[in-house]
Amino acid sequence: MAILSDYEEEEQKQTESVKKPFNAVLDSSDPLRFLQTAFEFVARETDLFKKDSVIKDVNGLVRSVKEKLDADERKRKEKAVPAANNGGASAKTENKRAKEDSSSSAPSQSGSAVKEPADQKMEEASDGDKKGLRGHLFLSSMVFYPPLNLRAAPNKGNGLDMENYSWVQSLQEVNVTIPVPPGTKSRFILCEVKKNHLKVGLKGQPPILEGELYKSVKVDDCFWSLEDQKAVALLLTKQDQMEWWKFLIKGEPEIDTQKVEPENSKLADLDPETRSTVEKMMFDQRQKQMGKPTSDEMQKQDILKKFMAEHPEMDFSRAKIN
Average pLDDT for the chain: 75
More confident residue, 158 or 284: 158
Asked if the model's pLDDT at residue 206 lies above 80, the reply is: yes
Give the pLDDT of residue 241: 86
Number of helices and strands (H, E) in the chain? 9, 8
pLDDT digits (tens, 9 = 90+) for 220-238: 999 999 999 999 999 999 9
User: Could you tell me where the DSSP H helices lie in 202-294?
Assistant: 264-267, 272-289
Give the pLDDT of residue 147: 42
Q: Which of 26-30, 100-104, 276-280, 288-292 has the lowest mean pLDDT?
A: 100-104
Burial of 246 (0-12, 13-18, 19+ CB in 10 A): middle
More confident residue, 302 or 100: 302
Give the pLDDT of residue 221: 93
Asked if the model's pLDDT at residue 142 lies above 60, the reply is: no
pLDDT digits (tens, 9 = 90+) for 248-283: 999 999 998 888 876 654 666 677 887 788 788 888
Report the percentage of the chain scoring pLDDT > 70: 65
Closest CA to 169 of 37, 261, 59, 303: 261
Q: Which of 54-58, 122-126, 302-306 has the lowest mean pLDDT?
A: 122-126
Helix (H, G, I), strand (E, B) or coil at 104: helix
pLDDT tier for residue 20 given thresholds of 50, 70 and 90: low
C-alpha to C-alpha distance for 75 and 141, rounded to whole angstroms:
29
The three-point CA angle 58-64-66 to 5° equals 105
Residue 6 — φ and ψ, nearest 5°?
A: -65, -40
- The H-or-E segment that residue 191 falls in is strand 189-193
Q: If you average pLDDT over residues 140-149, what whole number do you get?
A: 42
Asked if the model's pLDDT at residue 169 lies above 70, the reply is: yes
What DSSP state is assigned to residue 86? H
**How many alpha carbons lie under 13 Å from residue 23 in its C-beta half-sphere?**
3
89-103 CB burial, b ≥16 within 10 A, e <16: eebeebbeebeeeee
pTM of the model: 0.41
Asked if the model's pLDDT at residue 108 lies above 50, the reply is: no
Do residues 162 and 252 lie in contact, with contact meaning Cβ atoms separated by under 8 Å? yes
CB within 8 Å of 146: residues ≥ 6 apart: none
C-alpha to C-alpha distance for 127 and 38, rounded to whole angstroms:
32
CB within 8 Å of 239: residues ≥ 6 apart: 195, 215, 216, 217, 218
- The contacts found for 142-151 with CB under 8 angstroms, 24 or more apart, are 150/253, 150/254, 151/246, 151/253, 151/254, 151/255, 151/256
